[in-house]
Structure 1
Amino acid sequence: MSFVRDKFSAKFFLFLAIAFILIHVPIIGNYVKIINTLIHETGHAIIALFGGKVETISLFMNSEGATISDQSTWMGSFFTSLAGYTFASFMAFLSFLLLRRKKEILLIDILLAFIFLNLIFWVRNPYGVFWLFSFACAFLFLLIKGSQGVRDYLLLLIAAILLVDSVQSTYEILFLSILQPQAAGDAANLAQLTGVLPAAFWGLFFFLQSLWFCFYGFKRGYYKVGI
């Protein structure tokens, strides 16, 4: 039994290593990282819809994104700002959970739903539209034309990218919240909304929750990857 777990663990870490290397490759890295950016911005948008509305979402070539929403209450603004990093970390965890439970089709449906929801309703900037359309076409082509093994490895790679980038992006926001708190994005917004809790607090919160989801994502992937 320990042999099986070691085999699973080795392949799990192999895909994490591949994902880590891939997201740091010039040009290609920024392109693949946008899958995490898409989920991050979608998290903002979903929460913004409760008591507010989403104006636009932009996805940029440098892998950054922006959601413009209209909130009428303090609570709406607070939870919308909180949602991006937490939703991205949760989706990384959920991806491995679905793979472990052999719910590959459900994971595919969720990813495609995010893509087409943004393409139809929110994303309007040229690069964002290009990314959504090109990724959807490539994703669908590999799923339709590729073998079962290709599909499983593709989904595993996407899950690994989500997990690695969710941790890396929260580490970056933690670092920025300490050195340049006014430029720390969601952490800066939350600091302004709460008044008493600084950006560094929210940067640390985002980083710790990503580690928590990473740990449980590992536990789910540990048993699935070798299948």
Structure 2
Amino acid sequence: MSFVRDKFSAKFFLFLVLAFLLIHVPILGNYVKVVNTLFHESGHALIALLGGNVETISLFMNSEGATISRQSTWVGSFFTSLAGYTFASFMAFLSFLLIGRKKGTLLIDILLAFIFLNLIFWVRNPYGIFWLCSFAAAFLFLLIKGSQKVRDHLLLMIASILLVDSVQSAYEILYISVVQPQAAGDAANLAQLTILPAFIWGLFFFMQALWFCYFGLKRGYYRLAK
């Protein structure tokens, strides 16, 4: 049993290392990182819908994204700005939780639901449409043509990319909030809405990403290792 667990542990963390290396490969890295951007921007959009409306979401070739929404209240603007990084981190956690509970089918349904939700209602820029269509096509092809092992490995890789990039992107916004606060995206928006400086919000985004990372790995690893 100890040998099996050690072998699984090596495989589990190998996927995290591969995900880290993959997101730093030129061109391809930016392409796969958009899956994290998709959830980041969708988080903004879902909260914006509670008190306003969403006009468009854009997904860009450099893995960045933008959500244009209109809010009528301070509360709506606050929670919409707060939602991007936290929702992306939550989705990384949820992915590992579902994998650990052997609910891969539900994870597939969630991924496809967000892809088609964005494609139908929000994303209108050319690269965003290309990414959604190409990722969905490749994802569905591997699911249909691949074996159960291929499917399990694919889901674990996507979860690993989400986890690694959610932490990395949160660290990047923390760094920017220190060296160039006015350019710190969501942290800068929250600084304008509150009395707290961008650095505090950047630190919050990074800490919550680490929290979700820890519990995502804990729930996913220990359940699968049993």
TM-score, normalization: structure 2?
0.97
* Equivalent-residue separation in structure 2 for 1:153 and 1:190 (angstroms): 38
Cα distance in 1, alignment partners of residues 48 and 70 from structure 2? 8
What's the counterpart of residue 74 of structure 1?
Answer: 74
Give the Å deviation of 1:65.
Answer: 0.1
State the 4+ residue runs in structure 1 displaced beyond 2 angstroms: 1-9, 223-227
Q: Is 2:19–2:160's contact at 8 Å kept on the other side of the alignment?
A: yes
Mapped to 2, the partners of 1:172 and 1:142 lie a distance apart of 32
The yes-or-no answer on 1:213 pairing with 2:221 is no
Match of 2:115? 115
SS of 1:124's partner is coil
> Does the CA contact (< 8 Å) of 1:9 and 1:225 recur in 2?
no
TM-aligned CA deviation for residue 6 of structure 1: 2.8
> 1:100-111 maps to which residues of 2 (within 5 A)?
100-111=100-111
Q: Is residue 9–residue 223 contact of structure 1 (8 Å, CA) maintained in 2?
A: no
Within 1, Cα distance between the matches of 2:154 and 2:123? Answer: 25
Q: Deviations over 1:5-34 (max 9, x none)?
A: 433322121000000000000000000000
**Offset of residue 102 of structure 1:** 0.8
Residues 130-169 of structure 1, C-alpha deviations (whole Å, 9 max, x = no match): 0000000000000011110000000000000000000000
Structure 2: unaligned runs, 5 residues or longer: none
Superimposed CA distance per residue, residues 27-73 of structure 1 (whole angstroms, 9 cap, x where no aligned partner): 00000000000000000000000010000000000000000000000
What is the match of residue 10 of structure 1?
10
For 1:2 and 1:223, locate their aligned partners in 2 and report how far apart those are by CA, in whole Å.
Answer: 13
8 Å contact kept, 1:5–1:223:
no
Instruction: Tell me the secondary structure at the aligned position of residue 50 of structure 2.
Output: coil
Shift of 1:121: 0.2
CA RMSD of aligned residues (A): 1.2
Percent identical residues: 82
Aligned to 1:179: 179
**Equivalent position of 2:86 in the other structure:** 86
Q: Is the 8 A contact 2:78 2:193 kept in 1?
A: yes
Q: 2:128 maps to what in 1?
A: 128
Aligned length: 226
Alignment-mate amino acid for residue 77 of structure 1: S
> 2:101–2:224: 8 Å Cα contact kept in structure 1?
no
**Amino acid corresponding to residue 15 of structure 1 in structure 2:** F
Alpha carbons 1:37, 1:59 under 8 Å: kept: yes
**2:198 is aligned with 1:199:** yes
